[in-house]
Amino acid sequence: MEVEAEAQERPRDEDIMAHHQAVCQEGTCKSEFVGDKEPLSVLAAEYELGNPVFKAKIEQLGKTYGAIRRTRGDGNCFFRSFMFAYLEHVLEAEDEREAARVLQNVEQCRNALVSLGYAEFTFEDFLAIFVEQVENALPGKPTSMSIGTLVERCRDQYISNYGMLGFTLLRHYHHHAGVVVIMFFRFVTSSEIRRRAEFFEPFILGISSTTVDQFCKSSVEPMGEESDHVHIIALTDALGVPVRVVYLDRSICDNGKTTDVNHHDFIPGGADAEEQRCENPHVVLLYRPGHYDILYRK
């Protein structure tokens, strides 16, 4: 009976998603594409009247994490959260070694896209602007940006314009870079999945009845399509950037406790995998069913 009662207390993913959508309708999703950095207590306040087990999970989160930065729930939240958190790390840590490493991987991504038959004109602007953002995150240059500038770029009105007119404008105004970087990440993710089709096919068949090619065309490359573990594995492997995803859902931890919080580290494969196998990945995202935000350790 005690087990049954505990199961009834546990929040369902559908309940969490419904609550999140209700919050969105109240104004969260009408706000900025990237929000301000806020104390984690705002998350607790958001669910103050919610399921007690879910509230307990947020309390557990607070032992490790002290702040959250929300992103717009428009289907691009994973890529946008990844973009901001990564650039913020390079900027704050002045991590020139990391910037040089990822730019080298970006060049390999370019070669992979070309080898798979992507015409360079379809992605060269997106790639160039991502490179520019990484370079601008480093200090000592006339174009070096601040955290405030990074936030402004990710909030620009052109981010919400996904039409060809928006892309034409973005080619001429590189400071409207958010949507372009997201498009670049989508191209990179798609090319990595196609390049390693045999590896990704079982994952794709587990969540969709489509082929690898169809999955990329319908669920990866279009703006606004939500991301799952397939997208995360592909992007982290392609760029060589580890990501920790902390799950605020109904999953049970390995220790059997329903109130503890699961997390999973997506560690890139390849020659430098062991180097990347760090205890504290630079990019930490909070996942609630259907949505990603950025988490900050205490």
Residue 109 a catalytic site member? no
Our answer to whether residue 265 is catalytic in this structure is no
Domain span at 136: 79-241
Q: How many domains in the chain? A: 1
Q: Is residue 233 part of a domain?
A: yes
Confidence tier at 30 by pLDDT (50, 70, 90): low
Measuring CA to CA, how many Å separate 288 from each of 39, 154, 292? Answer: 17, 22, 6
Could you tell me if residue 52 is inside a domain?
A: no
Q: Which two tokens stand for residue 50?
A: 């919610």
CA angle 281/284/288 to nearest 5° reads 150
Chain segment 250-291, per-residue pLDDT in tens: 777 666 666 788 999 999 985 454 555 567 899 999 999 889
Residue 268 belongs to some domain of the structure? no
Please check whether residue 290 lies inside any domain of the structure: no
Give 167-173 contacts, CB < 8 A, sequence gap 24+.
Answer: 167/125, 170/125, 170/129, 171/125
Closest C-alpha to 234, from 253, 219, 248: 219
User: When comparing pLDDT for 123 and 229, which is higher?
Assistant: 229
Question: Of 15, 24, 29, 74, which residue is the catalytic one?
Answer: 74
Set 20, 77, 231, 237: catalytic member: 77
Q: Which residue has the higher pLDDT, 131 or 256?
A: 131
User: Do the beta carbons of residue 286 and residue 292 sit within 8 Å?
Assistant: yes
CATH number at residue 134: 1.20.1300.20
- pLDDT above 50: residue 221: yes
Active site residue 175: no
CB neighbourhood size of 117 (10 A): 8
Assess if residue 88 is contained within a domain. Answer: yes
123: in domain: yes
118-129: average pLDDT: 87
- Give the model confidence (pLDDT) of 164-183 as tens digits: 333 444 444 444 456 778 88
What's the rounded Cα separation, in Å, for the pair 23 and 290? 13
- Would residue 125 show up in a list of annotated catalytic residues for this protein? no
**Position 149: which residue type?**
T
Active-site annotation holder among 156, 263, 264, 265: 263
Residue 291 lies inside a defined structural domain of this protein: no
What pLDDT shows up at residue 270?
57
Q: What is the pTM of this model?
A: 0.82
Position 108 in a domain? yes
